[in-house]
Chains A and B, each alone.
Chain A
Amino acid sequence: MSRMNMIQAINSALDTMMDRDPDVLVFGEDVGYFGGVFRCTAGLQEKYGPTRCFDTPIAEGGIVATAIGMAAYGLRPVAEIQFADYIYPAFDQIVSEAARMRYRSSGEFTSPMVIRSPCGGGIFGGQTHSQSPEGLFTHVAGLKTVMPSNPYDAKGLLIASIEDDDPVLFFEPKRIYNGPFDGHHDRPVQPWTKHAKGEVPDEYYRIELGKAEVTRAGNDLTILTYGTMVHVAECAVEETGVDAEVIDLRTLLPIDVEAIENSVKKTGRCVIVHEATKTSGFGAELMALVQERCFYHLEAPIERVTGWDTPYPHAFEWEYFPGPARVQKAIRKVLEIEGVA
């Protein structure tokens, strides 16, 4: 067991899997010698050699296509797309190729591969280093989409993703690489070393895909969230003093509908929080699921707290970012209907 931040935990997952399986290859822009712009692959080339961890041309479509070819051969490639904002040149390869390989060949060819990509805002990255495009991928049949919210989960989920026989999009909220940012941008962020989820086993372990985690048990309402917003939601709950249940979805597809259903049926109220834009975002899918499955248990309309439907703006970062104040407002709204808060 070691104290790790999320970067170290991801590095440890890659290291663990490269050590266990010579078919695991890690590559991407600046990933090899330098160890990645966020240092997630630091030391791997030195340890495993340049044919196992290497730099690539700046061609995201080519990176993913290469990974698909390698996976078809029988390897388990882990490709890094440097920023989720840069994933679009690879969209066709992900959506039309990796996602459908098993289906269109009836299982003759498959794409067991992971695409890791830092996502999300809060770092003054402007519109090209801040996006949360997970909803574009949860819409695609054949893909799995994962987003961890802490170092412990990041390692366990990444290992499970590498071992998965289907293609996995693994989005890493970069704002929480170094600590559980709670949305209060004017306060210092606690490092992961002071957080329970910063305790990470050095050895191999898995967190199964498709399983959510209740990070805070409660009875008055359910907050469905993932990634950075888990910490923002928890903070909002603390500050409001309500007895909310916070569910960290961890895997967006396949979604843990049982965890959602159990919780919302218990609390009767639901707030959905994500950083991505609102319209046709993953929150819309969550709302539909809750409505379809829990309608007669609902005591208030479901609320969504999301990024605004604009490109990610540089100077208005904190007006854009759905921070604790907006989450609190939503919490009060779903509870006030019965006059609880």
Chain B
Amino acid sequence: MKAKPLSLHIPEPKARPGDTPDFSDLEIPSAGTVSRPAVDTSAKAMHDYAYDLVRVLDDDGNAVGDWDPKLDPDILRQGLRAMMLTRAYDDRMYRVQRQGKTSFYLKCTGEEAIACSQAIALQDRDMMFPSYRQQGLLIARGWSLVDMMNQVYSNTKDRLKGRQLPIMYSSKECGFFTISGNLGTQFCQAVGWAMASAYKGDTAIAASWVGDGTTAEADFHSGMTFASVYQAPVILNVVNNQWAISSYQGFAGGEQTTFASRAVGYGLPGLRVDGNDFLAVYAVTKWAEERARNNLGPTLIEHFTYRADAHSTSDDPSAYRPKEESERWPLGDPIERLKDHLIGLGQWSEEQHDELAKELKEQVKQAGKEAEANGTLGQGPQLSAKYMFEDVYKEMPWHLREQRQELGV
């Protein structure tokens, strides 16, 4: 019998430019329908969570169900402020890049709830190993905007001395590990850090973030393996924002299963959470934090969200996805959702919101002025090129000394 010819499968997103975005096939359970297990529940008993979706805020802005963290309104306002400040910061830095004041910028629009709530859920001494789209961690922890901008401008006050691409921040003091830019390398490093903390009998835990696309990297799987093998006190986050530059999450395996389900094969609890729901992200992170802190091991969290803007200033998403896709995203905007919730609680108002938006815009503007006084990329005061040769090694070897002398700096 003649065999039927084989055919090769190439994943394809449902909508391309010109098509009408269609999210009707997404299974989105109502808020409050997923139960909250005890933090010491065995990974084996948690398989369903990897395919479900933890949601707390319903369509009317009410917090419902087991996972409601019942946060104090002050914390909610703190979170709202952090998200709005992150967006205001992104907006300004995007513009200054367009004005030619720096080479590159990368926004996190639509994903603010993840970093901002997680920074608040973690403790100060915990070490965060972010990817490049978690600027909200620094901002929610109250890190100086001027310091961040100095880095983006590679100016005279840039603590990283002009060596790193804009937005590749580092702040040990803030518990923010130096961003690599190579995808996923930090995942297993976070596990190593967590193992060291456990070895030393410390109480600090680690957390790391990668995108959906990065789950395809070997480093993601090494991180999962080592975390599982050594039961490291670490929270491993996959921010599934649907797009890795122009490749939709189907190219990382998302067409066949959820990213949280990667945890099942490693024997870890995997939780899938509405990433645009500040309360749900906070609650799930607290669950994982408590588990790690109590030496009960690591957790994988998939944050189901949408990259509402371009990958970076070097990208134009209208070339590969419908323009109106972000508006059609069924899980809404994280800032609007938390705002509605606070208003519903009687703890916030439209007027206060507008007022705060203005205040934050002004705060960012002032920080911008201060940072720009230290120079921008190629304009105004500039760093000495001598810094190029420092910190390659603790002590400068002869060959670098010679090269520095050759350059005459």
Which A residues are closer than 8 A to B by beta carbons?
25, 51, 56-57, 59, 61-62, 65-75, 77, 89, 92-93, 96-97, 101-110, 141-142, 144, 165-166, 210, 253-255, 257
Contacts and interface: CB of A to CB of B under 8 A. Distances in A.
Given A69-B194, A72-B189, A141 B159 contact: no
A3 B200 CA distance: 36
Given A69-B189, A69-B194, A109-B170, A104 B178 contact: yes
A82 to B, nearest CB: 16
Given A102-B391, A105-B178, A69 B190 contact: yes
A73 B197 contact: yes
A66 B172 contact: no
Interface string B221-249: 11101100100000000000000000000
B393 A75 contact: no
B222 A61 contact: yes
A25 B199 contact: yes
Given A62-B223, A104-B178, A106-B161, A166 B393 contact: yes
A105 B160 contact: yes
A73 B195 CA distance: 9
Given A75-B196, A102-B391, A59 B222 contact: yes
Contact of B189 (A97, A253, A255): A97
A68 B226 contact: no
A268 B397 CA distance: 26
B196 A69 contact: yes
A61 B183 CA distance: 13
Nearest to A113: B192
A70 B206 CA distance: 11
B362 to A, nearest CB: 31
A298 B218 CA distance: 49
Interface in B242-262: none
A74 B394 CA distance: 15
A44 B200 CA distance: 19
B219 interface: yes
A135 to B, nearest CB: 16
A57 B397 contact: no
A59 B399 CA distance: 34
Given A104-B168, A165-B394, A75 B199 contact: yes
Nearest to B228: A57
A144 B161 CA distance: 23
Given A105-B160, A105-B172, A107-B391, A68 B225 contact: no
Interface string B154-196: 0000011101100010111000011010100101111111111
Contacts of B223: 62, 65
B392 interface: yes
Given A25-B199, A51-B199, A69-B206, A210 B397 contact: yes
A65 B219 contact: yes
Contacts of A102: 391-394
Given A62-B222, A65-B219, A92 B193 contact: no
A51 to B, nearest CB: 6
B163 A106 contact: yes
B185 A105 contact: no
Given A69-B190, A75-B196, A142-B392, 8 more contacts: A59-B226, A72-B189, A77-B192, A92-B219, A104-B168, A108-B171, A109-B172, A257-B398
